[in-house]
A and B are shown apart, each in its own frame.
Chain A
Amino acid sequence: MRKYWLKYAKNGLLRFVGHLDILHTWERILRRARLPVSYSQGFSPHPLLSLAAPLPVGQTSEAEYLELVLDQDMDASQVLGLVAAALPPELSALDIEVVPERTKALTGMIRFADYLITLPVDADQQALQQRIEGFQQAESEFIEIERKRGIKQVDIKPLVKDLRLDGNQIYACLATGGEGNLRPGDLLRFLGLSEEQQNSSTVRRMELYLEQEGELIDPLGMCRRNLERG
């Protein structure tokens, strides 16, 4: 048994394919690649595959992570090559690392994500710039966020690690995962974009981060660092 983290990009029309369907798509991809995926034990065995963080329908990404377990110890670059040949054009395999089997599930470790948001041409860049500067100076910033159980007041200040405007693009590093989560849509609303403008913005996820020793690091970066340290 060997565990791998595989980094891939999700592009184009696949933004309309949801999280669970993508997971099933991966099952088929790995079967087409003839990789010996391990199965869980128990009454209804399922393949040992998981995705690091669900990507909402409508967003593309250049840093998705698949955690997979294979029955055989295969060379990481060989796995990457076999996967690449079985991928639909709008998914591309970017990188891979072997991780120690005892490593905790990647899903539970994701803390932040980088986003590149392209705004519609009618967005008022000057107003945005002011709003962002105001946010950076504020101690806290409460906004209303709609959750399953109703509307909640949330301080988004600790949920935003970085926020910059560059022309008609926003670069943002936002909390994601179970320990705090801010959706790009909620950020855009806070920044004063109309619903129409929010809908015509495109969101691309650029990277996912774990926390190690108080700093953010991407999953494969952490693998490699741990490897160097032995």
Chain B
Amino acid sequence: MREQIERVLPRVEKPARYLGNEWNAVHKDHDGLVTIGLAFPDVYEVAMSHLGLQILYHIANKRMDAVAERVFAPWIDMEAEMRRAGLPLFALESGKPVRDFDLLGFTLQYEMSYTNILNMLELAGIPLLASERTAEHPLVMAGGPCAYNPEPLADFLDFVVLGEAEESLEEVIQVCKGCKAAGASRKETLEALSRIAGVYVPAFYQVAYQDDGCIAAVEATQGAPASVRKRVVDFLKPEYYPTSPVVPYMGTVHDRLMLEIFRGCTRGCRFCQAGMIYRPVRERTREELLGLAQEALKASGHNEVSLMSLSTMDYSDLENLLGELLDKIGCEGVSVSLPSLRADSFSVELAKQVHAGKRSGLTLAPEAGSQRLRDVINKQVTEDDFLAAINGAQEAGWQSVKLYFMIGLPTENWDDIEGIYDLARKAVWPRARGSNEKKAMKVTVSTSSFVPKPWTPFQWDPQDSMHDLEKKQRHLRDLLYRERNITYKYHDADLSFLEAVFARGDRRLGTVLLRAHELGCKFDGWSEHFSYGRWMQAFADCETDPTFYANRERSRAEIMPWDHLSPGLEKDFLWKERELALAGAITPDCRLDHCPVCGACQHLPAQTRLAKE
């Protein structure tokens, strides 16, 4: 296979995507091992910027009885060459066909990568439908944030691993190894897997529907548990962290060392799925992080460390961590970067310290244009915080700033939209924010359209119609167009609409996915390949109304497609948060104030762990 692959590489645009020989890549003899393909349904540069993949690669390859190799979506040109040469989808390290592996695991990071999963299965020569696979095919598994509602993919997945896989992946390997040795059938293996906590086998659940299209009941069969709860690690052990990360030869989206400083977030922004599903907060200690960073820098040769988390500014020992990091590694020409800033002056002060000399872009996310709407979504940033942040940034030498907002949030009205305009203007003009600076700031306003997600307080809410979203975009564009210091960018509403359909879809959408794949949909997240028309054709051909999933308000009593899965949260907590949202009442961060009993600390075998109390 290797030779055949090398023969087509001279004809593709970026052959370095397909080599598999990068620094720290693991090459093992497959003989007698459980073979795992870790698949990312997007192109190399995106896949290699994902820390989760490196963590699982590292954990699986540490085992003597397993080998994990990377499997990514070939770019359009490579796919054409592979199809012409009759080359099946291969794993990067060995160049072996993935259809010969024991396990093929996809990470579900984004709804619009689902068609790539189908395309990859097809390229691999693996039947798309789980029901048509036999003993000779790999077990196709999935995990990641979208796995909290994997129902649109239920027909295509053999099993799903919910939550953090540091421990459960090892259990999956253990079970597969045993079943392989015992010559167990595919069904027996899946039954054994379904007994692992956090493993969900979609085929073992029967879904019945009411006349109105809503779910009537979900019934577990084959002895599978009625409800599957996510796995969580009690604390982030140092050995989970990949201190010898694979280092790409070519440039990637994040060409730097990703240091995960904590997991989980308790700010409680009501639109944010990540803030809900990754609870509780577990911070690594400063000493441990320093050690991990030094070790991984030495093993990789990276010249930048990015402090990764959902909300890096909330790390309890951040100033000390930054100070010591800059002290210990700064002298070696290594820089530190902060991926996300909070819109306040504390954050800007730290950014100034970190980016000494190097002025990269500054991005702040007020998310909504008015205080009223920021209270609805529980984004606890005031206008004063925000303006102070801009003042600080300008004093520190930044001349431009990027502002992120969402449009289409629940209860949004025209005043909220115009609030974005007002806030952007204040960011431009120093006088409007009480600053003595003379020059106007350059401001880029970027809006995305709100997508209601499962396991958030807004999971019952309809997404704004595409018509309304586009009306709001136009209004904002007309307002901002007059300002020569402001640039306005927005995401296309049609893509957000499809995200909303699949985010809260049920398993009946499987036929639509299959049809979209047949019609040639792939790389839908790449605007040059996305075709809304093809998608609408797929829905029409399947006689499925996408607005049923995206734009319908759901009742409290409705059974959600994901209700039999759980990230450990209480549905009552989410509903209560929704009521508070509609009342415009905020819920403070639980680490600062009282516990709102979301369920995470009550139900999960993990507790909030802070580096510094």
A54 in the interface (beta carbon within 8 A): no
A14-29 contacts to B (CB < 8 Å) = 14, 16-18, 21-22, 24-25, 27-29
CB-contact partner of B333 in A16, A17, A39, A88, under 8 A: A39
CB-contact partner of B16 in A21, A28, A44, under 8 A: A21
Q: Is the CB of A16 within 8 A of B298?
A: no
Provide the residues of chain A in CB contact with B9, threshold 8 Å: 16
B287-328 contacts to A (CB < 8 Å) = 297-303
A199 in the interface (beta carbon within 8 A): yes
Q: Is the CB of B251 within 8 A of A28?
A: no
Provide the residues of chain A in CB contact with B249, threshold 8 Å: 14, 17, 21-22, 25
Q: Is the CB of B23 within 8 A of A28?
A: yes
A138 in the interface (beta carbon within 8 A): no
Q: A17-B250, A44-B358, A57-B15 are in contact. Are A31 and B10 (CB under 8 A)?
A: no
Provide the residues of chain A in CB contact with B6, threshold 8 Å: 13
Residues of A in contact with B, size category? 20 to 34
Q: Is the CB of B301 within 8 A of A86?
A: yes
Residues of B whose CB lies within 8 Å of any CB of A are 6, 9-10, 15-16, 19, 21-23, 247, 249-251, 297-303, 332-334, 358
Q: Is the CB of B298 within 8 A of A32?
A: yes
26 example contacts (A-B, Cβ-Cβ < 8 A) are as follows: A12-B21, A13-B21, A14-B21, A14-B249, A16-B9, A16-B15, A16-B16, A17-B16, A18-B250, A21-B16, A21-B250, A24-B251, A25-B249, A27-B303, A28-B301, A29-B301, A30-B301, A31-B297, A31-B302, A31-B334, A32-B299, A44-B358, A58-B10, A88-B21, A89-B21, A199-B10
CA distance A21 to B10 in the complex (A): 17
CA distance A29 to B23 in the complex (A): 10
A153-177 contacts to B (CB < 8 Å) = none
Total number of residue pairs linking A and B with CB closer than 8 Å: 58
Chain A nearest Cβ from B485, distance in angstroms:
24
CA distance A196 to B534 in the complex (A): 38
Q: Is the CB of B303 within 8 A of A31?
A: yes
Interface centre among A32, A34, A47, A90 (most CB of B within 10 A): A32
Q: Is the CB of A16 within 8 A of B301?
A: no
A37 in the interface (beta carbon within 8 A): yes
CA distance A88 to B20 in the complex (A): 12
Q: Is the CB of A21 within 8 A of B251?
A: yes
Chain B nearest Cβ from A122, distance in angstroms:
16
Residues of A whose CB lies within 8 Å of any CB of B are 12-14, 16-18, 21-22, 24-25, 27-32, 34, 37, 39, 44, 47, 57-58, 86, 88-90, 199
Provide the residues of chain A in CB contact with B333, threshold 8 Å: 31, 37, 39, 47
CA distance A89 to B20 in the complex (A): 13
Closest B residue, CB atoms, query A87: B23
Provide the residues of chain B in CB contact with A30, threshold 8 Å: 301
Chain B nearest Cβ from A53, distance in angstroms:
19
CB-contact partner of B332 in A24, A27, A31, under 8 A: A31
CA distance A90 to B6 in the complex (A): 15
Provide the residues of chain B in CB contact with A32, threshold 8 Å: 298-301
Chain A nearest Cβ from B94, distance in angstroms:
13
List 11 additional A-B contacts (Cβ < 8 Å) besides A17-B16, A21-B16: A12-B21, A13-B21, A21-B249, A28-B301, A28-B303, A29-B301, A31-B301, A31-B333, A32-B300, A34-B298, A90-B21
Provide the residues of chain B in CB contact with A34, threshold 8 Å: 298
Provide the residues of chain B in CB contact with A89, threshold 8 Å: 21
Chain A nearest Cβ from B521, distance in angstroms:
30
CA distance A43 to B280 in the complex (A): 43
Closest B residue, CB atoms, query A16: B15
Closest B residue, CB atoms, query A25: B249
Q: A21-B16, A88-B21, A88-B23 are in contact. Are A28 and B332 (CB under 8 A)?
A: no
Nearest 4 pairs between A and B by C-beta?
Answer: A28-B301, A16-B15, A32-B301, A31-B301
CA distance A121 to B532 in the complex (A): 50
Closest A residue, CB atoms, query B333: A39
Closest B residue, CB atoms, query A37: B333
Closest A residue, CB atoms, query B9: A16
Q: Is the CB of A16 within 8 A of B303?
A: no
CA distance A57 to B10 in the complex (A): 8
Q: A21-B251, A199-B10 are in contact. Are A28 and B19 (CB under 8 A)?
A: no
Chain B nearest Cβ from A177, distance in angstroms:
24
Closest B residue, CB atoms, query A20: B251
Q: Is the CB of A18 within 8 A of B16?
A: yes
CA distance A29 to B24 in the complex (A): 12
Q: Is the CB of B300 within 8 A of A28?
A: yes
CA distance A89 to B19 in the complex (A): 13
CA distance A28 to B333 in the complex (A): 11
